[in-house]
Chain A
């Protein structure tokens, strides 16, 4: 055991040396020994720690310790569980509602962004998590929502709430248009076609100067407005209040996100949701049992697009500005990462995924240029450690454990 670990350590060190020294050391004509060896020693240090950790893990002391910690944790968490579900959810909601009064604008701005991505993640979850259709161009629907609202507002002065239904309709239409040619395709062919559609929509927005002002972007859309009763001049009158401040925008997106959570939760347990899962698991079998697969797959795309379009309209209204380069391929990847990292098909998982991918990088702003390096590395490490995501959906978890023996076969297909 020890020998094998040492052997492993030596081989890894050799690899690191080969990989790090030329790339880091040779930035100019001279070999920058100090720079290269600093980076190398940090990496070897990390490697050494993991090796020590792996060795320790085998000792009885660690095993006992691990067990004790786990017991403690279960006991502590068990106490939280004592709260009945409605009370827990109620207090959570209460906290979310009070949050803006305790936080500053920056934290609220981060929270708004997280909620936007929660909405996006849940929408993509319908397509990827439930119906099992890989989508690498999801951000296009977000763009469609943003541009629909912007154009309607700028050209016809339609306010946010009345523009939303248009956004929803156009978003779902786009979903169907993208969904239709992909019906015959499976897996990775689907991936590249959706990626292509995403890029096409972005490029059309960028090139269609007369309508979208191309890369200049659209500027000056109204914020959402609310009509509130006021009793100022004796007697009841109604005033229109534009939601300018960040806390008020927070409540709008909180409502959107909550509605999305409820909708996706209901879908998950509905006939449609179960039919989607059947399609995901075995399309041919699902079709044979009488599930209208074509219709349901289109529905998945359309519904997924609706949530993104709503989030997009909100995003455009919040910034009062939109630009095609906000909707690049990498954004689609971020949303997909939220879904997979959080746990496909699991609502709490996706919320956690959005928090992890949007809020945590904000904490590390001081890292500046190292931030994305850490982001990428953490993504791989997380996937390797927890391939099924932070919080796997209960149904899926069950499947995964049943599959333990079959997985080999599945991999062979």
Chain B
């Protein structure tokens, strides 16, 4: 199995001063970026927990939690934001990515409550599905892997049009079993398309464990069969996710596709409608929580002198204030008018 581990290049997490960590960061990153990541992580987690709570109160019909996936999503997002023009095709569990890409907490809560002003689909779709074109994001579907071929087509068009854009395509271990995943990767390889395939492998397709989905230990191993590189990294490690995505983007732009598998944990059931006690070992789940990126990364940043504990505390209280505001705002917001049900079925006119 060909499998390089790009985490070799990650900055060691042992620096003790702001100056020393700055020296170890990629040149496009400043310590302030990492402080901002701390803020985003805390805000996203506070929002994620509130969304779940609002489901139990009957105000959010359905939600897929991203808890445990934050380092993978925010690390890869920051790499996309710092390394030239990138376009993102996330999947349905990518709340952290979609929110940190620029949505306000109010917009996010409007989305989960299905209210007027929902930013992705006008509340026609499940929360945060559709498109957020101002932030370079498309995610159409709940049919897993349908977005893989679409993202490859997007990358093909970028190449045909002479654009420098790199497309990042996200999917889970479950989607890796679909035929379209194979077709997408094969086509991307044939045409050397600028795509970074990012597998957020949380080891479960709803209730089905990885061992019942595949016999290989790493999805990334399949890259060899397509003739492009595949990497496995610790998806709970923010800097590893940043570095791997950064290298992936550079590879995609100069050579062609690459597959980055980020091993993550899914701390919550598949969705608010799922009960994972029927299939997940509670002790193993508790043990995994010691690697929770939302706890680990801010603590590391404090330890390394990048952020202060006061800042982190302030982020927590500010997150709670923003999420409270968003909840009240969305709860009071109007739903879409029923008369709009047929709007935007067809485009009028053409080229």
A and B: bona fide binding partners? no
Q: Tell me the B residues contacting A by CB distance below 8 Å.
A: none
Q: Tell me the A residues contacting B by CB distance below 8 Å.
A: none
